[in-house]
Amino acid sequence: MRAPVSGPAVLGALAAGLFGAVAVATWAGPPSGIRFNHAAHLRAKIDCTSCHLGVMDPAEARLPLLETCTGCHKDAPGANPGKQALARLAAEGAEPRWPVPSVRQPDHVFFSHPRHVDVAKLECTVCHGEVVNATEPPRTRRMSMYACEGCHARHPESAGATRARFDCLECHR
Ligand code: HEC
Ligand code: HEC
Ligand code: HEC
Ligand code: HEC
Ligand code: HEC
């Protein structure tokens, strides 16, 4: 199913690995017939938030709606199976059905994207580096508590350096 991991992808995974985002080699199959290719879109310099604005703004969708895709893909799909699947959805006016993101945390963990992106000024790829080279849908693991501790250090001196505290009740509300 999945191509062997290339050298640069391994380096990227190691960099992302500090935060425990390990790619899993199982991918059950695309519910909407679209094997979404992050790498093709990131090469075209498209911002993460053109498709994932909802992680920053709760009034928006976290995963892209049909109109987000068709806003750019208006032309005839040609021979590309993903573009053909998208054109079928557009003809039916049906929303793509994306799988539940595998990065999602259980209810007892509180996480705020604006706090990390707007306030702490972190790039998306610090925590989601594995999407950069992903040519098919990223099936990642959610971050472990240990991965959060890469920044939220238990030792006050290192916590001071990153401004990220280690307070049980901040993350478990
Ligand atoms: C901001 C513009 C933009 C948006 C939004 C966008 N795309 Fe694309 N897409 C591109 C560009 C640019 C490429 C690369 C050139 C090409 O193949 O057309 C591409 C490539 C593709 C390809 C071919 C890549 C491959 O695997 O070979 C598919 C399929 C595709 N997009 C589907 C989608 C879907 C589904 C969505 C919505 C989730 C979407 N696109 C949203 C611009 C966009
Ligand atoms: C053109 C639209 C588009 C762009 C740009 C885009 N994504 Fe995505 N992303 C998607 C779609 C569609 C999915 C759902 C794919 C699926 O699961 O089949 C997704 C899924 C994800 C997921 C969930 C992965 C999981 O484990 O389930 C993460 C995290 C993510 N994207 C992060 C990013 C980041 C970070 C960027 C920028 C570096 C980015 N995306 C850019 C369309 C996009
Ligand atoms: C400090 C680490 C970190 C940064 C930086 C970060 N994320 Fe996330 N991301 C997470 C965690 C943790 C989750 C799971 C959150 C949850 O379940 O509530 C997540 C979930 C997601 C999801 C899945 C959304 C869903 O429906 O559950 C997407 C898409 C995503 N992030 C995209 C982004 C984008 C785009 C950016 C940059 C604007 C970004 N992330 C920056 C850690 C991060
Ligand atoms: C790349 C570094 C980094 C990672 C990884 C990270 N955080 Fe943070 N986090 C920060 C920083 C820096 C702040 C402080 C932002 C500010 O100044 O308010 C913060 C703030 C927070 C806050 C606000 C309360 C507080 O203690 O300051 C919560 C809650 C939080 N993070 C949860 C998480 C969770 C849950 C994870 C793992 C899923 C995580 N973080 C991973 C850097 C990180
Ligand atoms: C920076 C955020 C953060 C802080 C601080 C934090 N946790 Fe966690 N904790 C997490 C995340 C993320 C998970 C992993 C969720 C998962 O993968 O199931 C977790 C998991 C756990 C679990 C496992 C729950 C289960 O489902 O098995 C326990 C118990 C727990 N934490 C207790 C604590 C205690 C006690 C403290 C304070 C000493 C603490 N945590 C501080 C983020 C944090």
> Domain for residue 150, yes or no?
yes
What is the position in ligand 2's atom list of the atom closest to the CA of 69? 1
> Domain for residue 83, yes or no?
no
> Domain for residue 71, yes or no?
no
> What's the domain count of the chain?
1
Place of tokens 């594995």: 130
Distance 131 CA to ligand 2 centre (A): 7
pLDDT of residue 1: 34
| Helix segments in 38-167, DSSP class H | 38-43, 48-52, 66-72, 81-92, 113-114, 124-128, 145-148, 156-162
What is the position in ligand 1's atom list of the atom closest to the CA of 37? 26
- Looking at all shown ligands, the one closest to residue 47's CA atom is 2
Which DSSP category does 115 fall into? I
In a structure prediction context, what are the per-residue pLDDT tens digits for the chain, which is 173 residues long? 343 433 333 333 333 433 433 334 344 455 677 999 999 999 999 999 999 999 999 999 999 999 999 999 999 999 999 999 999 999 999 999 998 999 999 999 999 999 999 999 999 999 999 999 999 988 888 999 999 998 998 777 776 667 788 899 999 99
pTM of the model: 0.91
Find the radius of gyration of the CA atoms of the chain: 18
Which of 42, 40, 1 lies closest to 129 in space, CA to CA? 42
> Domain for residue 73, yes or no?
no
Q: What's the domain range around 128?
A: 7-63+98-171
